[in-house]
Structure formats: structure tokens, C-alpha cells
Amino acid sequence: MKRITIYEGQRDRNKCDNLEAALRENGDLVLESYFLGDPDQTFWAGGDREFWIIVKAEHVPKVRKLLINERFETAAAFEGWVQELTAKTGNLEGTQDPIILLWLIKEWFADEHLFSQWLKKKKIPFDIQHVG
């Protein structure tokens, strides 16, 4: 599974403490998040919760294409961004590397709510699962 951290350790009650984007082995795109409640309370009483936004593999190419088309005016601009990202991270294998989608999400969506709103606006099906 390919995974990157979008943010972690934020203690804002309106945002989760940790948000990661991942591509599962089956091709599904997943935003995984957890929020830790009051550490002085028990697990359930403290407000701990986890949730997942899941885009099935069949819709992932559309997500990637739309993000690239919306964020970059030209193919050269996209390629330049990938080159900068490769220099920064040192682990990309060109513009077709699947992890680029995760970096696009990290760069342009500050939180999971903005991403789910974008998916709704673009009429891309997704599921939300949660615990807590």
C-alpha cells in the first residue's frame, strides 16, 4: 500500500488529529483519519473516532485526471511540479507514479471535508465508514 501523511498532531476539535491518503493494493483510494479525544477519559467517553473516505479503484483514474486538469494549465506545468516534488521527496518515478495522486490530494485539500465536498461536486462516488 502506498501512503502519505497529509497532517498529524492537530488538536483542533474541528479537525482530526491525523489524516493520511493511501492507495490500497486493490487500487482503492482511501483517506484515513482519527481523532483522539480527551486523554483523561476512557476510549469511548473521550470522543475518539476513526473514519475512512473510500473511492473505489474504478473511479481513481477520474479523480487523478480531474485534479491534474484543474490544478495545472499545461502538461509542462504538471511535469515541472512533478520534477520539483521528485527533488523534494526523492522517491517518484515520473508523471505516471501512482503516489502522485496522493501528493495532489495533500497539496490541494487542507482536510477531509474539502476533499469529500470536491468529490460530491464532481459526482465521483465514494463511501464513508466510521467508528466512534
**How do the domains of the chain map onto residue ranges?**
2-131
pTM of the full structure: 0.83
Cα–Cα distance measured from residue 115 to residue 111, given in angstroms and rounded to the nearest whole number? 7
pLDDT the model gives residue 8: 78
Residue 13 pLDDT grade (very low, low, confident, very high; cuts 50, 70, 90): low
Residue 49 pLDDT grade (very low, low, confident, very high; cuts 50, 70, 90): confident
Residues 80 and 68: beta-carbon distance below 8 Å: no
pLDDT the model gives residue 125: 98
Q: Looking at per-residue confidence, does 127 or 89 come out higher? A: 127
| The three three-digit cell numbers of residue 116, written as one number | 469529500
Per-residue pLDDT, averaged over 14-41, amounts to 78
Q: How many residues are there in the chain?
A: 132
Largest Cα separation within the chain, whole Å, is 52
